[in-house]
Amino acid sequence: MNRFTLLAAFIILAGCAAPPAQEQIASAAPLDAKDAPGEGADVILGGVGVETGKFDRLRDITFGLDGRLYTLESAGRDNTTAGALIGLGRVQIFGADGRLQSSFSLGDDAQADRAVNEKNEDALMAAARIAVDGQNRVYVSFPFAGGVRVFEASGKKLSDIPLPSVKALARMRDGKIVAVASNAIIQNDKWVWDGGDAFHILSSTAVERKVDFSQRLANVQDVDVAPSGDIIVLGAAFAEKYDWNPQPLIWRFDAAGKMLSSIGSGELTRSEDGSEPLHSVAVAKDGSMVAMTYGNPAFLVNYSADGKNITRRAGQFQWADPWSTHSSYTALAFDPNGRLWVAVPTPNDPKDPNLGMRHSRPVVLRTEADFFAPAQKGVVVADTRSSGFAPVLQSPLPYNIAYTVGAPIEVNVVVPPARRTLEAVDVSFRVFDAMGEVVATGQKSLDLKGGAEARLPLSWTPQKFGSYSFVADYKAGNQLLLSQAIHLGVTPRFANMPALEAGTSDGSWEDAARQKFVGLDLMRLHPAKGDDKLQSDLASAAKYGASVFIQLTDKKDDFTPQRATQIMNAVKGQVRYVELFNEPNFQFKPDEYVARAAAVYKAVKAVDPTVQILGPAVCGVSLTWHEEFYKAGGKATCDILSVHDYEGHEAISPEHWRWKFGALRQLMARYDDANKPIWQTERAISAVRGGVLTGLSQAIRVTLHRELLSSLGVPDDHNAHYYLNQGGYSSVPSYEWSAQGPLPAAMATRARAAFLGNRPWVGNLNFGPTGNTLFLGARYRDATGETVSLRNLVGAPLKASFDVPTETRVLVLDAWGNTLPVALQNGVLTLELSQLPTYVRLTGPAPLVPKPWNWGPDLAVGAQVSIAGKAENDAQTLTNGKLDTIHGENPNGDTDGKRVVRLLEFSPATPAIVTLELGAIKRFDHVIVRGLRADNQFGALRDFDVQVRQNGVWKTVSTQKTDIAPTVMGASADATAITFYGDDNAWISSFAAVQSDAIRLVIRDATRGFEPDEMAREQVVKAWGSANPLAASLREIEVYDAP
């Protein structure tokens, strides 16, 4: 019996029958109010459900010549042992206005119980594709049943056309239907591909003719017809050896079956570049083609009609809510007006508490007319010649780490085998240090003929320890195809630090070997990941000497004495520190948390009284929340107060952290808890923002954060950076180690740990009233000697001088481990300090003594301020004698930024002008303009003049231009480009003394938030859809007559 004769047995399902043909419904059932079409879509239809207007087991979509939308739902069996029959098996028809017009069942002559004992029930019932001919007859394919069922325009069954393994259907230019078969079947107890050798032209009742392909195909997914009449097929190249999931390509055949061209690599690597098309292909009126490809969210890919470009854009309702989850099945179709529609079949039950915030699915979406426009968010345009060209940069060094300077480092370009049109590329490379200086270059050609794997060895020789980005550009002729990067660290083999030998680091979320290597000793472990994982992580931490604490839970329902007892029994004797809960301010009121925590605290201590308990681990050092916590008796729920010092925005501002931790200590003292230790158990400091790698600023901020907290009673071994390795929480890419190698912060924290060792912080150097706002010098001392960590807090390198007794020996090292020359004359050491730390090792009894910077009083305090140009907030705050801020609960500002002046809509041609009227003629020779660190929407100054008014004429006395290496393209990790901007926040102008009653700033340029230049801005627009505006954020303008 032909398998197609079984089809009817599976169409009408017990208890779940489709509505009768031509049921008239005014409109589709409404979606939840929260559901919007999505990013890049303007119409949404459906939602999960069996009601008409909604979808159950959505499979395909197509359009009639009259513009009506036809949707196909399949039927099948569930995954239970009983194998209950589920799914409607129906077609729904929507008008051009999106209103449901009618629906009909796929079958009308069968009983569901006839198929109870049949094999492959789900496969036999599975409708695959739908097409509508020029007479509005509807064709539905059933690959496993082996045929096409045809319906009249009214929905009445017209005929069954047997066609083994048929799947793909499309309407030809003459209105007839083309069908292509290729399906996996069992033949002689072996799986084989059936069909794929021809396309078939169908009438409404039979196969009219068969046209053989010159290239046999397998795993055919879809077919469409180009405006030229060419047949476009999505399927894999046939191979005699059966492959259950061969990678499809897009093939073009003429009307005689001759293969004209193909698009795709034919290799399954989950590449997101468009070389591995999936699921569906649709041809636009202009001849361009659209398919899906890998990603999460998966990408929609447009192949231009002229064959020159591939354009990609992710499909998603909103962040973390993709149309195609993990590249799951998605169907595509163009309407007669040329608009692309997307069928999103993956079901999502909105009643599921874990998915309730996401959109209802299945749905059908219409994309916006400019969905693939280059200016749209996330759109990437590439040369078609790059299809199948997926180079990878690899280093033979374990984990991309070298320990020797002056020795060549090899980097290999490896191109996997694939179908590709490229026969050769030119590869040029540049190596950048963390500051953006080019330290090596080179160029070679790479032969790609034959589609086999290709390799090209490249090498360079580092002359210094440091953090480096190796950027390779690939060109075909003069056309740049791709830029990509790999990151490498060159570091000493410190005697007190482990090396990272091959096989020791697994790159996972919990990676004790790598934690120790980079000097981030404190690790947080999670029992929720399972007992075996927890025991493995504890053993690894013990092996490599990492410090650990476990966090019992971040789930309210698991925050119970019973669960705590269970966990503690499993780890008794293996852990010294236990944190009760993660960020309870998101789930509990303070008194509710204290009530729960008291019981859990008691349960933990009952199992192991020696354990030290941490809490409450509030997100943000919220003084308000901690006040209520202590009022409710929170003191008794922890032995160590743990915090997550997210203080609003990304930057680390020393004056705020000092105030905030001081205020917290005062609060604790009011509740007789002043001597309790404070630990910082989670702080993310971003490495990637908006598709841009900000490695230098991360290194500056991570080391500054650790410096500040050490001085505030939280040493490095009580301070947890969140997190080390790339993975997991991708919305905050704050890792120090990417999939392409270590970032600058990893090398900087390693050197810091090596130079400081176990020496405790013993005090900060005094640079004088002015100098203390510009420099930080932290002293770490034990019986063996002293190390001083020095840094410039504000921007461009500054020189500082120190008195050094003659009996004291001095060794100076940079942030990476390079020994620096010592400029010591007459007992005075002079150093040029950057924003990264410089370390001074002292052997001898006396500390460094800075030459003080004391420029006297700020002459601008109280000056009247006016601004020419668009500005936000009160200009008078610029001369109030305070450093206003953007951090939480600070008396001088909060996260809304309303105490900070923002200058907007200026340019070199129309600069913003800030004028200070001093009230009297004053003598001065220094101006400090203090702004914000480039952060979120807050921009930092890049180009401005300082002018003074003399005899009614404005005279320029200083021009400030921030020297930044330009952003470079280089795809790595979550980024497409690399910036080299630091953390500038103050600009010092020194000039010959003048006398004047007014000064002004003529501001021409600034960063756009964290975007330092146009290249970075372009990448942010592609990643986020928009960029920050050009905005200069000012905090204070200071005027001095320095002695």
Q: Express each pLDDT in 25-49 by its tens digit.
A: 233 444 454 567 888 999 999 988 8
Compute and round to an integer the Cα radius of gyration of the chain. Answer: 34
Q: In the chain, count H helices and then E strands.
A: 11, 68
Report the length, in residues, of the chain: 1043
Residues 39, 86 within the same domain: yes
Q: Would you say residue 859 lies in a domain?
A: no
Residues 210, 86 within the same domain: yes
Token pair recorded at residue 683: 């702080």
Q: What is the CATH number of the domain that holds 332?
A: 2.120.10.30
Which pLDDT tens digit goes with each residue over 1009-1031? 999 999 999 999 888 878 889 99
Residues 83, 169 within the same domain: yes
Q: Assign 856 to helix, strand or coil.
A: coil
Token pair recorded at residue 616: 């409450």
Tell me phi and psi for residue 542, to 5 degrees: -65, -40
d(CA 894, CA 886): 5
Q: Which residue type sits at 269?
A: T
Closest by alpha carbon to 948, among 993, 985, 986, 910? 993
Q: Say if residue 540 is exposed, middle or buried (CB neighbours under 10 Å; 0-12, 13-18, 19+).
A: buried
CB count in 10 Å sphere of residue 656: 23
Token pair recorded at residue 874: 């009160």
d(CA 926, CA 205): 91
Kindly give, in sequence order, each residue whose CB lies less than 8 Å from that of residue 648, ignoring residues fewer than 6 positions away.
620, 886, 887, 888, 894, 895
Q: Would you say residue 855 lies in a domain?
A: no
Contacts 24+ apart (CB under 8 A), 567-570: 567/527, 568/603, 568/604, 568/607, 568/608, 568/611, 569/607, 570/527, 570/531, 570/534, 570/535
Q: Would you say residue 754 lies in a domain?
A: no
Q: What is the CATH number of the domain that holds 408?
A: 2.60.40.10
State which H helix or E strand residue 544 sits in: helix 531-544
Q: Would you say residue 505 lies in a domain?
A: no
pLDDT the model gives residue 158:
95
Residues 326, 209 within the same domain: yes
Token pair recorded at residue 600: 């859990």
For residue 702, what are the CA distances in angstroms to 696, 795, 933?
10, 16, 14
Q: Assign 716 to helix, strand or coil.
A: helix
Number of domains observed in the structure of the chain: 5
Q: Is the omega angle on the peptide bond into residue 769 within 30 degrees of 0, that is, cis?
A: no
CB count in 10 Å sphere of residue 726: 22
pLDDT the model gives residue 354:
56
For residue 1036, what are the CA distances in angstroms to 380, 855, 986?
41, 16, 9
pLDDT the model gives residue 486:
98
DSSP secondary structure code for residue 50 in this structure: S
* CB of 622 closer than 8 Å to CB of 895: no
Residue where one domain finishes, among candidates 356, 386, 416: 386
d(CA 489, CA 500): 11
CB count in 10 Å sphere of residue 970: 25
Q: Would you say residue 590 lies in a domain?
A: yes
Kindly give, in sequence order, each residue whose CB lies less than 8 Å from that of residue 148, ignoring residues fewer than 6 positions away.
139, 140, 141, 142, 160, 161, 163, 166, 169, 177, 179, 202
- Would you say the C-alpha torsion 296, 340, 971, 751 has a positive or negative sign? negative
Residues 369, 422 within the same domain: no
d(CA 928, CA 770): 10
DSSP secondary structure code for residue 399 in this structure: G
Q: Would you say residue 743 lies in a domain?
A: no
d(CA 263, CA 256): 20
Residues 245, 343 within the same domain: yes
Residue where one domain finishes, among candidates 702, 736, 770: 736
* CB of 576 closer than 8 Å to CB of 536: no
Q: Would you say residue 752 lies in a domain?
A: no
Residues 787, 931 within the same domain: no
Q: Would you say residue 888 lies in a domain?
A: yes
Residue where one domain finishes, among candidates 364, 386, 408: 386
Tell me phi and psi for residue 745, to 5 degrees: -60, -35
Residues 59, 193 within the same domain: yes
Spell out, as residue ranges, where the chain has pLDDT lower than 70. Answer: 1-35, 76-87, 108-125, 349-357, 728-731
Q: Which domain holds residue 988?
A: 864-1040
d(CA 408, CA 564): 53
DSSP secondary structure code for residue 56 in this structure: S
From first CA to last CA, the distance across the chain in angstroms is 104
Residues 381, 396 within the same domain: no
Closest by alpha carbon to 903, among 882, 928, 878? 878
Rounded to the nearest 5 percent, the helix, strand and coil shares of the chain are 15, 40, 45
Residues 300, 176 within the same domain: yes
Q: Assign 335 to helix, strand or coil.
A: coil
Residues 688, 779 within the same domain: no
Closest by alpha carbon to 585, among 619, 633, 628? 619
* CB of 250 closer than 8 Å to CB of 291: yes
Residues 340, 458 within the same domain: no
* CB of 63 closer than 8 Å to CB of 69: yes
